[in-house]
Amino acid sequence: MTQAQALSIEPNDPVAHWHTLCHRQDLVANSGVVAWFAGAQIALFHLPQGGSGGQVYAIHNRDPQSGANVIGRGMVGRIKDAAVVASPLYKQHYRLEDGQCLEQPDQALQVWPARLRGDRVEIYAPGNRSAMNI
């Protein structure tokens, strides 16, 4: 397993819960913004298609190829019916749902379950911190 594997949280984990990262108005439709949480930069992508305000994805901002924190600046699109972000440096495509790299299956970015709750953008993660630093 690599450091960039998808985050796995058990549903009954007593220390995992929803954390507010920012507000809905901080998001940019079909683009990324970056928030700081528990020592990591998390790229948030808002895809407004569909009902109830659309979908929000939370994925690690660090490009595993370059080590640069740039994923939040990548272009969003769809490949084979999956929402993806293209790394702005080396152009690999990462599925927003699970962080898997399409071109290099041995690589994945960490992901967090994310949701819109009223005006708040939240992720599900261990710990008792909340962050609103974008």
**pLDDT tens per residue across span 82-125:** 999 999 999 999 999 999 999 999 999 999 999 999 999 999 99
Residue-wise pLDDT for 6-32, tens only, equals 344 445 566 679 999 999 999 999 999
What is the architecture of the domain spanning 16-126?
Answer: 3-layer Sandwich (2.102)
Domain boundaries of the chain, sorted by first residue: 16-126
Q: How many CB atoms lie within 10 A of CB 130?
A: 13
Residue 107, CB-side half-sphere exposure with 13 Å CA sphere: 14
Q: Which residue has the higher pLDDT, 104 or 52?
A: 104
**Residue 74 CB partners (closer than 8 Å, separation 6+):** 32, 43, 85, 86, 87, 88, 94
pLDDT of the residue at 49: 79
- Mean pLDDT, residues 30-56 taken together: 90
